[in-house]
Amino acid sequence: MPLTSILLILLAAAWQGNSVVLKPCPESPNCVNTYQEDDKHSPMTPLPVYGSIQESMQLLTQMIEEMPRTTLVRMDSTYLHVEFKIALFGFIDDVEFQVIDQNIHFRSASRKGYYDLGVNRNRMEDIQQAWKDITDNKKSDKP
């Protein structure tokens, strides 16, 4: 994704009055997000908003709280920050979600080290799949 696209996403977040703007990933490959493409990072697909933004944030929070070794750090109407503790070594990864337009963008990054053996990307792929499953089930439950 070109730098202009990243800037547009960040400006949209600021324009919508969001108090937090997700930072780009550092040079290290132990970070993934939905808005940065360069020689070390390939953007992932954001989560689509389901129903209202409020409903989406409630669903997302519930889904994340059911995952093991998570700590909710901060939440507001369009932002969620969660810490994931890695079981084997006890490292902490920071995962942030932010609603921009009708998408939930995210950033998942290791606090320490350089390589993460794909842990952040795998986690976010699992979250993407869980989100799809939950929202698909809700859609099929509606009359």
| The token pair that represents 100 in the structure block | 């921009």
Residue 56 has pLDDT above 70, yes or no: yes
Dist. CA 108–CA 119, nearest whole Å: 10
Does 131 or 7 have the greater pLDDT score?
131
Residue 142 has pLDDT above 90, yes or no: no
Residue 71 has pLDDT above 70, yes or no: yes
pTM (two decimals): 0.83
pLDDT digits 0-9 by tens, 74-125:
999 999 999 999 888 788 999 999 999 899 999 999 999 888 889 999 999 9
pLDDT digits 0-9 by tens, 11-39:
444 444 555 689 889 988 899 999 887 77
Contact 10, 17 (CB under 8 A): no
- pLDDT attached to residue 113: 87
Strands (E), 1-143: 31-33, 47-48, 70-76, 79-85, 92-100, 103-110
CA distances from 119 to 23, 29, 30, 88, 110 (A): 19, 11, 8, 12, 9
Question: Angle of helix 53-65 relative to helix 119-141, nearest 10 degrees?
Answer: 120
Helix, strand and coil percent figures for the chain, each rounded to 5: 35, 25, 40
